[in-house]
Structure 1
Amino acid sequence: MIESKAKILSNTPLTQDVFKMELETEIATLAKPGQFVQITVPNFYLRRPISVSWVEGNVLTIVYKVLGKGTDKLSSMRPGHALSVLGPLGTGYPIEAKEEVLIVGGGVGTPPMLLTAKAYQDLGAKVHVVLGFNTKDEVFYQKEFEELGITPVICTMDGSMGVQGTVLDGIKANHITCPFVCSCGPLPMLRAIQNTYQDGYISLESRMGCGFGVCLGCVMKTVEGDAVRVCEDGPVFAMGKVVL
């Protein structure tokens, strides 16, 4: 874990309220799929946890959604500005050699799945990708997955793009039978994934204070009744380990 003064290289909108930011930072070379960073937004006390979406050299890419005053401020920052970034944090996806992998992302849970898909590709796996959104106006990262040679299945709840319905509907409609799943997204989606699959990993989104296990603000229960911290023990957990 390193605290770095990261230089903003770009900060561009992907949708009306989702932005992609590229940061020049020493942390980039250390980040693994599924990990996150804690970013200090100027004039705001608590850092914002944001997942690592991509790394290339010393450039780390994050994708965030404007949900409040802090992320709204972040969206207004321009190239050349510096941010205090703490990381990489958390336990990421334990990338293992697999013949076939199903990657599932929902909404702003999509970004960390890009680097995860690339990591499995590098080990020779056949990678399926299914992404879920509410409407076509919220869809992003389709092009980025295509640049990896993967055509993602797009699902929208209103049917305005791709398969109408949930990611499970998209998986069924495209006859994807791969039993090993890596997923990140909203809790109802993860609950449905965990109720359907036994093999793989899920990445949880949670409010965090410190980001490294001290404040205990992101505690959840395992099926055995033990307490785990999303920031330190996760955010990635084995399928079926955490009660959702």
Structure 2
Amino acid sequence: MEKQGMMTIVSNTPLAKDVYEMVLKGEAAKNISAPGQFINIKLDDGQTTYLRRPMSIHDYDESHITLAYKVVGVGTAKMKTMKPGEQLDVLVGLGNGFSLEPIKKALIIGGGVGVPPMYNLAKKLAAQGTTVITVLGFNSACDVFYEEKFKALGTTYVCTMDGSYGVQGNVVDVIKKEGIEYDRYYACGPEKMLDALVLFDDVNGYLSFEARMGCGFGACMGCSCKVKTAPYKRICVEGPVLKSSEVIINE
């Protein structure tokens, strides 16, 4: 099935400080095969937004894709202004997503804009009978979003670096403080958070990485990273999900 297509904006609403949720509708949604895959959006104005913007997928079904994005540059600032009814040229179902292996207890970890792609994974794991525990990390209370959605799936902890909401500290602090036990952990967030998780447990984790991408489907090699199991892996094809055991921590 063709991965490229046009999708129509259904809604585009604010979630938290500089964070928005966009719902898209279209046949291209059928191309998603696993939680953790991403979408690449064309926002070309011929000048400043030539390259497509890779976005993680928060939730999806056969005809809808929900994104949650943070306004950080020209491309996302343009997305913020888009209205229902407008159309986007997208590449859908890109990357290697999370495995839905049968396990008893899963720890879901999201940091900042790494929170959205963890929801569909958590929902699917819960649906197959896995006990889901979630830890969400943010900088401050004004940045917190989707807490209630994760609480509906299982025990959920929230932490903030400044202590203005939930537990003060980072996600590893919460795991240690609460003595959280798990069979596997799954995470997406800032690279420093992912490095800290690998230092904490480099055996039982799956981590979703972000990278600057030129094409989004492996041709340009621009998002290649070194790993322990191969000279390089492309985040857009062999990733964005990597096993904790193959991650090389940036010093």
TM-score (norm: length of structure 1): 0.96
- Please say if residues 220 and 242 of structure 1, whose CA atoms lie closer than 8 Å, have aligned partners that are also in contact: no
1:23 corresponds in structure 2 to: 24
1:173-195 Cα distance to aligned partner (Å, 9 max, x none): 22212141100000000001111
Q: Does 1:60 align with 2:65?
A: yes
RMSD: 1.2
Q: Deviations over 1:41-63 (max 9, x none)?
A: 14121100001110134110011
TM alignment of 1:65-104, pairs within 5 A: 65-104=70-109
CA contact (8 A) 1:98 1:123 kept: no
For 2:39, the equivalent position in structure 1 comes to: 37
- Give a deviation string over 1:109-158, Cα, whole Å, max 9, x none: 000100010111122100100000000100011122133x3242000001
185-194 or 169-178, which deviates more: 169-178
Could you list the runs of 5+ residues in structure 1 that have no partner in the other structure? none
Which residue pairs with 2:221 in the alignment? 216
CA distance in 2, matches of 1:141, 1:163: 16
> Any idea what SS the aligned residue of 1:116 has?
helix
Q: Is the counterpart of residue 168 in structure 1 residue 172 in structure 2?
A: yes
Corresponding position of 1:48: 53
Count of residue pairs the alignment pairs up: 243
Aligned to 1:178: 182
| 1: CA distance, partners of 2:127 / 2:158 | 23
Q: Secondary structure at 1:140's aligned position in 2?
A: coil
The residue identity in structure 2 corresponding to 1:38 is N
Q: Which amino acid aligns with 2:196?
A: A
C-alpha contact (below 8 Å) 2:131/2:154 kept by paired residues: no
> How far apart, CA to CA, are the structure 1 residues paired with 2:235 and 2:61?
26
CA distance in 2, matches of 1:153, 1:239: 22
- Distance of 1:33 and 1:137 partners within structure 2: 27
Same amino acid, percent of matched pairs:
44
Per the normalisation by structure 2, the TM-score is 0.93
Give the Cα separation in 2 of the matches to 1:92 and 1:186: 18
Displacement of 1:224 in angstroms is: 4.3
Alpha-carbon distance in structure 1 between the residues aligned to 2:65 and 2:39: 10
> Which structure 2 residue ranges, 5 or more long, are not aligned?
none
Judge conservation of contact 2:12–2:80 (CA < 8 Å) in 1: yes
Partner of 1:10: 11
